[in-house]
């Protein structure tokens, strides 16, 4: 019978050991493959980011050329040169050194008839004149590089026989961006090997570039179709075990694929991850195998055979109910002590069992009610017990945690062992505590208290560990918030002071330029009169900008005070309409005003109210189409007045709507050179409405127009509580 039991238990232990090893092996294999896949994704993401840096460098070069050609094309001197071809303009502005200084290889002036007025081509490195490409002249002749209107822009690449070229074409307009267009100004920059080398240096990558109209290596040929169908897409593909490449295309001025570029990078991230995972995988497999064999042998030799003997004895005593029998085991260990005490426990086994269960429940309830990690360890640093929070953090149950060395436990060993130096507590006999920042960034408050018996001997250490990361982060955020508020107040006060300092000389400039324009000091010729008028208009535009900055700074600094008084709402709205009617008439835009009959007068700051309406109506007119319609509606909502300004213009993209109401921030359509603006108007609208105790909201759809609305108290006399948040929506209905 004993042999049968021994064989059964031994088999069970073997099966369990093999099962655990199989589960661990499967887990290690799955984890290895999953982590390897993660490294592939990380490598791809890193490659995409590096390739985007190369794309940004190329886009920056094209953007610079677009900016330079616009600066030259929208210039009164260029506008005049197309007509009179004056030599002074050539001598002063069209020198070889000028083109070399702005990194432009080719500059071509073409009039509206398609005739080349002036052409120059230089080497940007030596500033020496060089022949103009015949391909460029052919494209001018067939009209590919000629703009067709005041808003027509051409930007991209052209494939010349010599090298690819960045090209940018802009209609020739006046300095104030007014027409009619006198022709086209064409700037070109060769995309040669030296420029490609500069991109390599800037992006720290290896680059290869091939034209779409020439033979390519095999790997480029396999990507040409994808790049032609979607030139903006980046194709990432490993070249070999050591390198990975990112391919992307560049379009010509007609939208076709012109160039295909490959950026090569070392696969250091993936290779390092693969090696690390392989080492870890085989180490864990070997460790699991050795541990399983050792555990199986130890259990069979030291535990199972003796446990079977104890089991047989207890079974025999229970069946015979003979408490006089004794179990005699060798070796002075736990099983031996168990055999020695088992006879004394038989009589009151039931009471002892109930007492143990009660104590276990009491201890479990007490420990599990704590949020802190609590662990009690022996002088050998082995876990005697731990509460629920500590077991969950270690991802272990109490049975498997007991007897485990604290240094080998996952997660909790760092703050409790490395920081506290528990060995010193057993010798120093003093409680220790402090804060510890773990490798994962968490901050812990840890405390270790020695526990003694009645004789004063230390029998273990009670350790607690509390996660104080959130409290530390809250303290840090509060500190940063206070610093940011001080910096914001300082910025607002600085802007307010500087705006005051700038307005004084600017008013003098405007005043004296107006006196000159009115010929108070004598007659001026037509060119002088035009220049003085430009000075006056520019000065007034700058003064308006400074006034907006001053108003915004006053609000942010808390220095803007409202002057409340009653005024007629309908009359004020009509006066704003009349003030902006010249702008509306130029675009033949109709402005309609509708005010509820119950709204006669309101109490607010009249000047600031006019400033709100001026900004909203001015924006609606600016971004409406010609022969369009702008509606202003005012109606009562309880003790508030709601005013809406609706246009049927270009609308605002969803991704750009978050930029509204932020100082100096303009959406893409707003920031176009077709419309002047500073980005301060809507920010001031929000601040002034908030000061009145109201709030602002808007909705917009691309191509359908926008509605900006606000509410303020009808009989306001002080700012109400609240920050007046801005709301946005993309509702299908129109307001």
Q: What is the mean pLDDT of residues 632-654?
A: 89
Most confident segment among 120-124, 253-257, 357-361, 557-561:
120-124
Distance CA 341, CA 328 (A): 11
**How many angstroms from the chain centroid is the CA of residue 156?**
29
Q: 695 has which bridge partners?
A: 711
- Give the pLDDT band (50/70/90) at residue 340: low
Which one is predicted more confidently, 425 or 216? 216
pLDDT, residue 475, reads 77
Tens digits of residue pLDDT in 452-481: 877 778 888 887 777 787 777 777 787 877
Which one is predicted more confidently, 392 or 87? 87
**How many angstroms from the chain centroid is the CA of residue 333?**
63
C-beta separation of 648 from 624 below 8 A: yes
- Give the pLDDT band (50/70/90) at residue 723: very low
Tens digits of residue pLDDT in 551-565: 666 666 666 778 899
Closest to 181 measured CA to CA, from 68, 108, 73, 70: 73
Tens digits of residue pLDDT in 208-232: 888 878 887 877 777 777 766 676 7
- The yes-or-no verdict on residue 634 having pLDDT over 90 is yes
Distance CA 526, CA 79 (A): 17
Which one is predicted more confidently, 57 or 354? 57
Which one is predicted more confidently, 569 or 665? 569
- The yes-or-no verdict on residue 637 having pLDDT over 80 is yes
Q: What is the mean pLDDT of residues 514-532?
A: 79
Bridge-based pairing of strands 243-251 and 601-605 is: unpaired
pLDDT, residue 406, reads 72
- The yes-or-no verdict on residue 414 having pLDDT over 60 is no
Which one is predicted more confidently, 311 or 493? 311
Distance CA 443, CA 480 (A): 19
Distance CA 617, CA 576 (A): 8
> Worst-scoring range by mean pLDDT, 74-83, 176-185, 343-352, 616-625?
343-352
pLDDT, residue 413, reads 58
Tens digits of residue pLDDT in 190-206: 888 888 888 888 877 78
C-beta separation of 729 from 708 below 8 A: no
- The yes-or-no verdict on residue 662 having pLDDT over 70 is no
Q: 644 has which bridge partners?
A: 633, 709
Mean pLDDT over each residue of the chain, to the nearest integer: 78
Token pair of 538 as six digits: 């520019």
The CA-based diameter of the chain, rounded to the nearest angstrom, is 137
In order of 225, 504, 531, 540, 611, the CA distances from 520 in angstroms are 70, 22, 16, 20, 33
Distance CA 143, CA 150 (A): 16
Strand order in the sheet with 695-701: 590-595, 629-637, 640-647, 705-713, 695-701, 727-729
Most confident segment among 244-253, 318-327, 710-719:
244-253
């Amino acid at each position: 019978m004993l042999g049968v039991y021994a064989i059964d238990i031994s088999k069970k232990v073997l099966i369990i050991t093999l099962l655990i090893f199989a589960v661990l092996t499967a887990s290690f294999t799955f984890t290895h493959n999953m982590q390897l896949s993660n490294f592939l994704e990380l490598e791809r993401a890193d490659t995409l980011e590096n390739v985007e840096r190369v794309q940004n460098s190329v886009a920056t070069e094209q953007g610079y050329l677009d900016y330079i050609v616009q600066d030259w094309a929208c210039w009164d001197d260029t506008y005049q040169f197309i007509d009179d071809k004056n030599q002074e303009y050539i001598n002063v502005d069209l020198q070889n050194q000028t083109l070399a200084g702005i990194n432009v290889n080719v500059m071509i002036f073409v009039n509206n008839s398609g005739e080349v007025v002036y052409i120059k081509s230089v080497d940007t490195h030596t500033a020496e004149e060089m022949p103009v490409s015949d391909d460029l002249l052919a494209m001018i002749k067939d009209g590919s590089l000629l703009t067709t209107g005041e808003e027509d822009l051409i930007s991209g690449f052209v494939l010349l026989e010599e090298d690819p070229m960045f090209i940018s074409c802009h209609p020739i307009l006046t300095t104030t961006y007014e027409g009619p267009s006198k022709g086209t100004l064409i700037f070109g920059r060769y995309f040669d090997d030296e420029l490609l080398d500069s991109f390599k240096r800037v992006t720290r990558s290896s680059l290869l570039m091939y034209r779409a109209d020439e033979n390519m290596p095999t790997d480029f040929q396999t990507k040409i179709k994808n790049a032609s169908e979607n030139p903006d897409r980046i194709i990432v593909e490993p070249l070999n075990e050591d390198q990975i490449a990112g391919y992307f295309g560049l379009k010509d001025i007609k939208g076709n694929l012109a160039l295909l570029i490959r950026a090569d990078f070392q696969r250091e991230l993936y290779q390092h991850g693969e090696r690390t995972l392989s080492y870890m995988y085989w180490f864990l497999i070997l460790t699991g195998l050795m541990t399983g064999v050792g555990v199986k042998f130890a259990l069979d030799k030291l535990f199972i055979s003796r446990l079977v003997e104890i089991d047989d004895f207890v079974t025999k005593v229970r069946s015979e109910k003979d408490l006089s029998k004794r179990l005699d085991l060798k070796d002075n260990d736990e099983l031996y002590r168990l055999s020695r005490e088992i006879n004394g426990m038989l009589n009151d086994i039931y009471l002892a069992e109930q007492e143990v269960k009660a104590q276990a429940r009491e201890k479990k309830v007490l420990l599990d009610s704590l949020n802190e990690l609590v662990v009690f360890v022996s002088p050998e640093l082995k876990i005697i017990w731990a509460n629920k929070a500590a077991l969950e953090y270690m991802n272990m149950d109490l049975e498997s945690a007991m007897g485990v060395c604290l240094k080998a436990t996952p997660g909790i060993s760092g703050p409790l062992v490395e920081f506290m130096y528990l060995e010193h507590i057993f010798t120093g006999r003093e409680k220790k505590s402090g804060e510890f920042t773990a490798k994962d960034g968490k901050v812990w408050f840890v405390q270790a208290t020695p526990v003694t018996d009645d004789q004063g001997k230390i029998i273990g250490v009670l350790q607690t560990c509390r996660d104080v990361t959130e409290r530390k982060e809250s303290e840090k955020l509060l500190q940063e918030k206070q610093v940011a508020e001080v910096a914001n107040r300082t910025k607002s006060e600085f802007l307010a002071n500087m705006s005051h300092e700038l307005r004084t000389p600017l008013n003098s400039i405007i005043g004296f330029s107006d006196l000159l324009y009115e010929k108070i000091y004598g007659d001026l010729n037509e060119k002088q009169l035009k220049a003085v008028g430009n000075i006056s208009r520019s000065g007034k535009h700058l003064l308006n900008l400074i006034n907006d900055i001053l108003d915004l700074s006053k609000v942010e600094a808390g220095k803007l005070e409202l002057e409340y008084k009653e005024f007629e709402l309908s009359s004020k709205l009509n006066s704003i309409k009349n003030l902006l009617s010249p702008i509306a008439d130029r675009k033949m835009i109709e402005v309609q005003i509708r005010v509820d009959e119950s709204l006669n007068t309101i109490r607010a700051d009249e000047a600031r109210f006019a400033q709100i309406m001026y900004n909203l109506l001015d924006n609606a007119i600016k971004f409406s189409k010609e022969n369009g319609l702008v509606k202003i509606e005012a109606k009562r909502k309880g003790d508030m007045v709601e005013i809406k300004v609706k246009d049927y213009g270009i609308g605002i993209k969803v991704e750009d709507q978050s930029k509204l109401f932020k100082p100096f921030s303009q959406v893409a359509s707003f920031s176009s050179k077709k419309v002047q603006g500073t980005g301060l108007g809507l920010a001031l609208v929000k601040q002034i409405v908030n000061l009145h105790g109201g709030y602002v909201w808007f909705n917009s759809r691309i191509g359908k127009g926008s509605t900006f609305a606000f509410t303020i108290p009808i009989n306001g006399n002080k700012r109400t509580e609240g920050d007046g948040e801005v709301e946005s929506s993309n509702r299908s209905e129109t307001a």
